[in-house]
Structure 1
């Protein structure tokens, strides 16, 4: 066995024409949608969501690439809920690529590029014990539950 090669993880802003790619990523992550009690969105729903991106100047969405392969999706909002905050609404790693440190690396990348924010919130939907454990391991603390299907975590920057 040779040395461990760290594959290059890169983030690229999502464009409206990426809808089919993002849709495939969602279809390959059925466990996440099962946890939040939803079906994976249809292609037209993904396309509709991406078409609203440029209308909301606070929202940022990125595809995560491992070399040439799309392996995840990152969606966050700047200046929300307060002007000095940012909120991570979705960090999704494709199911066959989970447990390889990609989520941690994507989060590190985000933290290094969040200039001007004092806090990063993370929203966990559903009874997602794995996501909650992930954010706590990354230095987030639980803030509040917004009803049975929503938990908020925060990390001071």
Structure 2
């Protein structure tokens, strides 16, 4: 059995309906963080802000032609030489297949000049915390009851 090819494509405002559908297919994540999935208009507005911050990057994750995830990070944040992964979401019906690990490996291979990668975990999400720890991240601080920061040092 061959593994399906995972590819990442930069997200753009034209992807708003696809990303909105992805969010709607991941209701447990939004329950975990204590909010409703964003509306299509909210998703569109967020994607429109991508071009306004040159440090921010967002990608849709595809298995063949099917959108199965979303990755959103910011370069040089919180400090120069850092990057912060604010969302790595795999659609619920595709979780547990190693796609998050594959997407993270892809990201790590494209972070030239980054010394530390932070990951932000929202809500009480033990599965996400365990995922990041298994990928070599360590917990560095909590930013309130609904936010945890993890960091992984990267080779120069």
**Interval of TM-score (by shorter of Structure 1 and Structure 2):** over 0.9
- Using the alignment, how far apart are the partners of 2:36 and 2:126 within structure 1? 19
Give the aligned partner of residue 57 of structure 2: 60
The counterpart of 1:40, out of the listed 37, 40, 49, is 37
Task: For residues 137-157 of structure 1, give each alpha carbon's deviation from its aligned partner in whole angstroms, at most 9, with x where no partner exists.
Answer: 000000000000000000000
What is the TM-score when the length of structure 2 is the normalising length?
A: 0.98
Q: How far does residue 74 in structure 1 lie from its aligned partner after superposition?
A: 0.1
Superposed, 1:61-100 pairs within 5 Å as 61-100=58-97
- Using the alignment, how far apart are the partners of 2:92 and 2:43 within structure 1? 19
- Using the alignment, how far apart are the partners of 1:48 and 1:68 within structure 2? 25
Give the aligned partner of residue 5 of structure 1: 2
Number of matched residues? Answer: 154
Matched residue of 1:154: which SS? strand
Runs of 4+ in 1 over 6 A off after TM superposition: none
> What is the aligned-residue RMSD (CA, Å)?
0.4
Superposed, 1:100-119 pairs within 5 Å as 100-119=97-116
- Using the alignment, how far apart are the partners of 2:129 and 2:118 within structure 1? 12
Give the aligned partner of residue 121 of structure 1: 118
What is the TM-score when the length of structure 1 is the normalising length?
A: 0.98
Matched residue of 1:21: which SS? helix
Matched residue of 1:18: which SS? helix
Matched residue of 2:54: which SS? coil
Q: How far does residue 47 in structure 1 lie from its aligned partner after superposition?
A: 0.4
Gaps spanning 5+ residues in structure 1: where? Answer: none
Gaps spanning 5+ residues in structure 2: where? Answer: none
